[in-house]
Structure 1
Amino acid sequence: MDSLDLEVLQRARAWLSAGRQVLLATVVRTWGSSPRPPGALLALRDDGRAVGSVSGGCIEDDLIHRLRAEGMPTRAQLVSYGVGAEEARRFGLPCGGTMELVLEPLSEAGSLTALLDRLAAGELIERRLRLADGKVSIGTAHAEQGLSFDGEVLTSVFGPRYRLLLIGAGQLSASLARIALSLDFAVTVCDPREEWFEEWSVPGTTLTREMPDDVVMAMKPDARTAVLALTHDPKLDDLALMEALRSPAFYVAALGSRRNNALRRERLREFDLDEAQVAALRGPAGLYIGSRTPGEIAVSIAAELVAVKNGVVAERVLPVAEAKAALEVAQDTLSACRS
């Protein structure tokens, strides 16, 4: 679930609580190119105010126009945009692109309160809407589940699908945690050091003082889990990385220089990790963007995290170690030419 979509649900509830009517639009199917994926949300207030996005803006404008001209619909309905080339151009879709949306009139804030309360508790939730009578039910979803629509029932999934464990509660961790939360990761921060633990102040994260390796084992990392060591302290980082590298976690990384990460890999081999497991460690963590400040380094790491999550092949990104090595080769070559 995108954090923008959570904002849509929260704003819709606030409007309903203030006595306004709200229309919730959900992208349910796309063909060809489309600006927003299935599951994207848009909430329209009865006076035309909007939050969220289902396109680049043209479809939103048409929905607002229809709402003002025709009023709030009385039942859920399916609408299509961009079926032909002319309509595709009119609504800002690439030629041949098609998008279907379910439009659902919301009547009371209570219809969203239970959902938002469970999302606030960190749960992954499915919301089922039956178009025939507008009946809504919610239940627990699983991480592999996605939006589904069979023409009669729309099942939307809300909540964090991915988990991120940060070892260390310093300034960089705080910057990265805020970015990860906006990317819809459930973020756990582990730091047994009292001086760092007591100063942590990022809302929406889970904070623990347990030893990092114990936290990794308790989390039981799966293919939707990322583990990142940021303390520079081998006593904290290495054991956690050892457990994470033995798991199916899709991203395991560590901060530090190339030299420190080379030494870390040597230490990990002493823990009986095989070469494939050691090679899976990403370090120095992040993509090379010339970052220096904690905020910039957090952006670099978040970019690599998202790239790996989205299956971007290594040849299309430039990790820090490879980038700096390439720069050194280029500088040596330039120096040789000048001499």
Structure 2
Amino acid sequence: MDSIDLDVLKASARWIQGGRRVLLVTVVRTWGSSPRPEGAMLAIGEDGSVAGSVSGGCIEDDLIDRVRRLGIRQTRPEAVKYGISAEEAHRFGLPCGGTIELVLEPLTRDSRIDDLCRRVMAGEVVRRSLDMESGEVRLVPGSSAEGVAFDGRRLLTVHGPRHRMLVIGAGQLSRYLCEIALGLDYKVTVCDPREEYSDTWQVPGTTLVRTMPDDTVLDMKLDDRCAVIALTHDPKLDDLALMEALRTPAFYVGALGSRRNNTARRERLETHFDLSKEELARLRGPVGIYIGSRTPPEIAISILAEVTAAKNGVTLPDGLRIDEAKSALDVAANEQTSCIPDGFRQT
């Protein structure tokens, strides 16, 4: 769950406790392009107060206007669609042809929003089941792999804590990567036992630890909402962290380095740390996607693009992998060189 969605739940719970009626709006289906993904939420108080978003703004405006004019009269959830026609798509700020389906749920104390917030804040992943006919809500343990499901009779949503990111190394690249990762709503921990780096670390919003990386991995109890990125170039630090991280359910484990260094790293991990081929296959390295990046900010974007794809379950083409892309460039360069007459080649 993104922090914006947790904020929606917290605001809803607060308004309900204050005696206000609240309408919770959830994106349940999209067709074509849409500004917000399935599961995105918007809470509207009976006075027009809002938290969250479900579109670029125009759908929110329409829903807020309805609440202000008519109040929250409904007593049961209902499903509505926006953007079915090109005219509506233009009116509501959706890309032409885009359609979004929403569930409008009037909240009460029986909606268990307060209980849901407590469990999420405690680190649980919770599946919330909403019966569209009765409005009855059930909360059961969930999995991050589950998504939004809606069949017209029941709405299932999954709620959990923010995704976490562990960055090994507090160097210059880490600073740019962490600043962007915070904007992507990760809870970021930076681990570096080296005083010359950790003493100068200054990125507000991150947590700095000076313990050994493998101990940090174990202490964090990584789950499938976690990413680990090793950036020190020091095998004594990176390898130990990777060894432990590859044995966890973390959705992304990657390490910076050249193709040669990456090959050597895999050999070390297999030979000296007894990692299986299946565990080694999870290692992303050289880390990132190929965008011709050279500067630390560009490399950070390259890495986080790959992390984002993994988080969203997107399989990238082999041509975007750094090792594949650079190998293809090497082949192209060799072919170009072979076409030059011998007398014109530089030596």
Structures share fold, TM-score greater than 0.5: yes
- How far does the alpha carbon of each residue in 1:228-262 deviate from its partner, in whole angstroms, 9 at most, with x for none? 21111111111222233345544321112233323
Contact 2:129 2:139 in 1 (8 A): yes
Q: Give 1:235's aligned residue.
A: 236
Partner of 2:77: 77
Give the aligned residue type for 1:37.
P
Counterpart-to-counterpart distance in 2, 1:87 and 1:76: 29
Equivalences for residues 175-186 of structure 1 within 5 A? 175-186=176-187
> 5+ unaligned residues in a row in structure 1: which ranges?
none
Q: Which amino acid aligns with 1:329?
A: V
Corresponding residue for 2:41?
41
Give the conservation status (yes or no) of the 8 Å contact 2:288–2:302. Answer: yes
Alignment equivalent of 1:303, drawn from 295, 302, 305:
305
Which residues of 2 match residues 143-158 of structure 1 at below 5 A? 143-148=144-149, 154-158=155-159
> What percent of counterpart residues are identical?
56
Distance in 2, Cα, partners of 1:174 & 1:125: 33
One-letter code aligned to 1:237: D
* RMSD, matched Cα: 4.2
Give the C-alpha shift of residue 304 in structure 1.
0.9
Alignment-derived partner of residue 318 in structure 1: 320
In the TM superposition, residue 294 of structure 1 has moved relative to its aligned partner by 2.8
1:123-134 alignment, distance < 5 Å: 123-126=124-127
Give the stretch that moved more between structures: 131-140 or 272-281: 131-140
Residue 217 of structure 2 corresponds to residue 208 of structure 1: no
Q: CA–CA distance in 2 between the matches of 1:178 and 1:127? A: 32
- More displaced 10-residue stretch of structure 1: 328-337 or 18-27: 18-27
1:294 corresponds to: 296
What residue in structure 2 maps to residue 25 of structure 1? 25
Once the two structures are TM-superposed, the CA of residue 27 in structure 1 deviates from its matched residue by: 1.7
Give the alignment's TM-score, normalised by structure 2: 0.73
- Aligned position for 1:172: 173
1:260 aligns with 2:264: no
2: CA distance, partners of 1:45 / 1:62: 14
Equivalent-residue separation in structure 1 for 2:236 and 2:167 (angstroms): 15
Q: Is the 8 A contact 1:213 1:243 kept in 2?
A: yes
TM-superposed CA distance for 1:313, in Å, is: 3.2
- C-alpha separation in 2, matches of 1:119 and 1:223: 15
Give the partner amino acid of 1:313: T
Inter-CA distance 215–296: structure 2 relative to 1 (3 Å threshold):
same
**What is the rounded CA distance, in whole Å, between the counterparts of 1:336 and 1:317 in structure 2?**
23
Q: Which runs of 5+ in 2 are unaligned?
A: none
8 Å contact kept, 1:80–1:98: no
TM-score normalised to the size of structure 1?
Answer: 0.75
Instruction: Label 1:248 to 1:3 Cα distance change in 2 as closer, same or farther (>3 A).
Output: closer
* Maintained 8 Å contact 2:166/2:229: yes
